[in-house]
Amino acid sequence: MTGNNGIEPDPAMQEVLAAWRILFDKNHIDEIKRLKGYDERVFGLEVEHSLICENEILKLEFHTRPDWTLEIGNIVLNEKMMIHGNDSRLVIRVVNFSENHHFFLDDLRMRHRSSMLTFDVILIPTSGPLGWIKKAVYECIECEHRSEVKQRLAREREAPNLCMPCIKDYAAKNKGEWPPIPPRHFKMIVEDCYYEDIEYLKAVEVLFDSEGNVLKLGEEKFTGVVNDEYVGTLTSGSIHRINARIAVDHLPNRDFVKDTRRMILLKIHSIEDSPFSVSNISETSIEFDHSE
Ligand SMILES: [Zn+2]
């Protein structure tokens, strides 16, 4: 079942693959070796933002298309894990972003979409652990050929358009002609789909003075989502520094396709301890309603 996605690394992808290999070999091999015998657990591997900026290719690609660049990095990372006989899964968590990524949550607008930005926030988990189908597996009802289709979070589930093996089979029997009605009867194989753990939360900006005392809280509550090893680990009211890609989502209880209104969603890439030793948080009255 080769060529489901037809991906042969193009030159840009090959450069990024090579750049990640060098970065991990130089900086993270000891950690990769150490994480042995944890039996299919997911771990975050913290990668300094400065290391990404040192490499011209990673610097360019990570800042223009972070999801794609990280996806390739995660492939390389798990190759390394396999080489070292390790069956747990590692995901890259870039941390300590440079100052020009630091931003204020309340100033976020739609124009910041796709940026990766750093915020100091209070987090309040709201959904509890959930799962979503990240990659769906479909089987053609005619020929049983299987194909995988990547899905998008909180969007309509996508299925294959047509079955190429069925078309080729028809063409071979009909002098190269394509079938008049394209074969497109698929069933999803629920057990073989790839699921990812996620959890929704609210984030409120925290402003500190130079001594690390909480000066005030932000006006707005933003919705965020975390995945993998962060799910189920966050404590309500804890203060963190988060690095998030700014995305858009439909309003709660609305349909993405039918309703054009959008809200900002923080796709939280990594979570760090707060750099401030917060001393007076208990004096700050924080009230959150969980009604949304
Ligand atoms: Zn088929």
Please give the distance, rounded to the nearest whole angstrom, from the Cα atom of residue 167 to the centre of ligand 1.
Answer: 7
Ligand 1 centroid, distance to 46 Cα (angstroms): 43
Q: What is the pTM of this model?
A: 0.88
Q: How far is the CA of 188 from the centre of ligand 1 (A)?
A: 13
Distance from residue 156's CA to the centre of ligand 1 (Å): 23
CA of 147 to the centre of ligand 1 (A): 10
Q: In angstroms, rounded to a whole number, what is the distance separating the alpha carbons of residues 43 and 228?
A: 8
Taking the mean position of all CA atoms in its chain, how far away is CA 3? 24
Query: Using one digit for the tens of pLDDT, what is the confidence trace for 155-173?
Result: 999 999 889 999 999 999 9
Q: Give the distance (Å) from ligand 1 centre to CA of residue 166.
A: 4
Question: What distance in angstroms lies between residue 242's CA and the mean position of ligand 1's atoms?
Answer: 45
- Find how far residue 102's CA is from the centre of its chain: 20
CA–CA distances in Å: residue 4 to residues 25, 73, 152: 30, 21, 18
Report all structural domains of the chain as residue ranges with CATH numbers, in order of start: 11-95 (3.30.1640.10), 101-284 (2.40.50.140)
d(CA 259, CA 69): 31
pLDDT at residue number 56: 97
7: Cβ contacts below 8 Å, ≥ 6 apart: none
Q: Tell me, what's the pLDDT at 212?
A: 78
Largest Cα span, the chain: 80
In 3D, which of 42, 269, 228 has the Cα closest to residue 131? 228
List the chain residues with pLDDT less than 70. Answer: 1-7, 37, 39-40, 277-292
Other Cβ atoms less than 10 A from the Cβ of 90: the count is: 24
